[in-house]
Chains A and B, each alone.
Chain A
Amino acid sequence: MSAITVQGLTKTYGDLVAVDDVCFEVERGECLALLGPNGAGKTTTTEVLEGFRHADSGEVRVLGVDPWHGGLEWKARLGIVLQADRDLGDLTVREAVRHFAAYFPSPRDPQEVIEAVGLGSKAKSRSDRLSGGQRRRLDVALGIIGSPEVLFLDEPTTGFDPAARREFWDLIESLKVGGTTILLTTHYLDEAERLADRVAVIAGGRIIACDSPSQLGNRAAGIAIVSWIENGRERQASTDSPTAYVAELAQRLGGEVPQLAVHRPTLEDTYLALIEDLPGTRS
C-alpha cells in the first residue's frame, strides 16, 4: 500500500483554482519532492494531505486515512514541518523539543533529536535567539520527535547556509534509511536532486511532470551540451552524440580543445524548460 495517494485533487479559493485534478502516489519509504513556482499549488496540496484543508473534490489518503477525518492516532504517525514559524520564541530548544515529545505515543529521545539536527550546542538557547537556519532546524526537530512514518517538509532549508544545508540533507537521508516516507516541498533543485526518489513538478495547480530526478523531462535521453573556446570566443553546441562531436572537434582543431566541457542539462535546466512552456507562470 502506498503511504500517500492523491487522485483528482481539486481545490479552489473563490475564482482561483489552486489545485486542479492533481494525482500522485508516494510509496512507503520513498521521498517525493514537489517542485514548482510560488503559487503553483504546492502548499495547498501539502495542507490537504496534512489535514489542514478540505479538498473540494478528489480522493486523498495518507496512511490509508482521509486526512480531513484523520483522528489523533493518525496524527501521531505524521511529522509536519510547516513553512517558517515564529512560535515558541520564549522557550529554549531543549524545552520545546521535550515538550513536543509529550504529545506522541512513542517519541524519539529529545537529546538525540537535538543532536541529530545539529543544535546540540544551542540546546539551552531561547528559540527567538537562534539564527534563521538554526530556527528551521528546531522546526525539523519538532517534526521528527514523534518518529513519524510520514514526514511533511515544507521548504525546510530556507535560510540555511551551504554547510548547514548539507548537514540537513544527511539528516533526511538517515530518516529515509530508517524507512520514513517524505513529502518535500522545496525551491532548491539541488536539494530535490539529492534527496528525492521522484520529483513532481507542479505549476498552475497541475502536475506537469513526475519522474526520478535523473529522468525528469526526458533528461537522460536528452541532448548534451558541448562547450569550448575557438579563436578566443566561447562556443557551444547541443548534440545527441557528444562523443562523436568531440572527436570531430579534436580533429578539426588539431589536438587539445581549449576549455572543453560536456554536460547534460541539470535538473534546474530541465525544470526551467518545463515551467517556461506554461503561460502565466514564473519561477
Chain B
Amino acid sequence: MNRTLYLGRKRVGIELRQFYRDPQSAIFGFAFPMILLIIFGSVFGDENVGFGDVTFSQYFLAGMIASGVLYTSFQNLAIAIPMEREDGTLKRLQGLPMPKASYFLGKVGLVFVAYIAQVTVLLAVGVLFFGIDLPSSAGRWLTFAWVSVLGLLSCTVLGLAFSVVPKHGRGASAIVTPIVLVLQFTSGVFFVFNQLPTWMQTFASIFPLKWLTQAMRYVFLPEGASVIEVSGSWQIGWCAVILAGWTIGGFILALLVFRWTPRGSS
C-alpha cells in the first residue's frame, strides 16, 4: 500500500511535467477556456439572463468552470490514454514493478492539479475582465469544493473507461472533442439552459455536465437566480446523487473495460 502511494506520488509528478510540456495540454488546459471566456464574455457578456442584473458573463463563467471539470478529466484522459497505449507508455509501465493503482493515482493527481490551475485562471479572467463578484460565504465555497471533487472523480473514471473507444492515439481528439462540445451546447454552457428545447434539456440531464453547470451557478450566482433554473430550484441534492451515481457506475465500467494494450494486440 505504501509503495502504491509512493509510486502514485511519483506518477503525479511525472504526469504533471509531461502535461505542461505538451502544447496540446497547454492549449486545452489554459488558453482555450480562457479565450472562450473572453470571447463569449465580450460578445454576450452584458445580456441579461432573466434574473435581476445577472449577466451572461456570470452565467458563462459558471458554465466554463463546469466545463473545466470535463476538460481536465474526461477530455484530457480520453485523448491522452489512447496515445499512451500507442506510443509504448503503458507497455513500458506494465513491465515495471509498479502496482497498477499507482498509474491511476497519477492520473487522478494530474486531473486535480490541472483543474485547480484552470479554475484559477478562469476566476482571474472573470474578476479582472468582467468584474464578476466571487461568493463571500464559506458555504458556497464548500459546495464548490465538493461539487468539483465529485465532478472530477466521475469524469475521471468516465475518461478512463472512454479511453478504450478511440482505436488510434491520433484520432482520439476527433472522437472526444465533439462529444464534449455537444455536451457543452446542451448543458447550459454556451446557451442559457432554460431557453433550450425540452428534449435537449432531458438529454443533457442524463450526463454530469448539466448538473455541474447548475451547481456552479448555485455557487457563483445570487441565491434568487434559481428562478431561471428549469425546476425553479438549484437541486444540489440531485446533483450530488447524479454525480455519485456516475462515479460509482464509471468506476465499475472502467474496471471492466480499461485496456493496457491496443485492441487486437493480444
Contacts and interface: CB of A to CB of B under 8 A. Distances in A.
Interface in A80-136: 80, 82, 85-91, 95, 99-100, 102-105, 126
B95 A75 contact: yes
Contacts of A50: 95
Contact of B87 (A75, A85, A91): A85
Contacts of B17: 90-91, 95
A76 B3 CA distance: 13
User: Which one of A88, A89, A90, A100 has the greatest number of beta carbons of chain B within 10 Å?
Assistant: A90
B97 A85 contact: no
A272 B119 CA distance: 63
B95 A85 contact: no
A102 B7 contact: yes
A244 interface: no
A82 B261 CA distance: 14
Contacts of B18: 88, 90-91
Nearest to A86: B87
Nearest to B100: A72
Contact of A103 (B7, B21, B87, B266): B7
B109 interface: no
B97 A76 contact: yes
Given A53-B266, A103-B7, A87 B89 contact: yes
B131 interface: no
B99 A72 contact: yes
A103 B88 contact: no
B229 interface: no
User: Which one of B18, B21, B95 has the greatest number of beta carbons of chain A within 10 Å?
Assistant: B95
A91 B14 contact: yes
Contacts of A86: 87-88
A85 B97 CA distance: 19
Interface residues of B, number: 23
A126 B10 CA distance: 19
Contacts of B266: 52-53
Nearest to A103: B96
Contact of B96 (A52, A85, A88, A100): A100
B91 interface: yes
B7 A78 contact: no
Contacts of B89: 85, 87-88
A87 B84 contact: yes
Contacts of A15: none
Contacts of A104: 97
Contacts of B94: 52
Contacts of A78: 95
B21 A85 contact: no
A261 to B, nearest CB: 45
A51 interface: yes
Nearest to B102: A103
User: Which one of B22, B87, B96, B266 has the greatest number of beta carbons of chain A within 10 Å?
Assistant: B96
Contacts of B21: 90-91, 126
Contacts of B145: none
Given A52-B266, A88-B18, A103-B97, 11 more contacts: A51-B95, A72-B3, A72-B97, A80-B95, A82-B91, A85-B87, A85-B88, A87-B87, A87-B89, A99-B10, A99-B13
28 contacts: A50-B95, A52-B94, A52-B261, A53-B266, A72-B98, A72-B99, A73-B97, A75-B95, A75-B97, A76-B97, A80-B95, A82-B88, A82-B95, A85-B89, A86-B87, A86-B88, A87-B87, A87-B88, A89-B87, A90-B17, A90-B18, A91-B17, A91-B18, A99-B13, A103-B96, A126-B21, A142-B92, A146-B97
Interface of B: 3, 7, 10, 13-14, 17-18, 21-22, 84, 87-89, 91-92, 94-99, 261, 266
Interface of A: 50-53, 72-73, 75-76, 78, 80, 82, 85-91, 95, 99-100, 102-105, 126, 142, 146
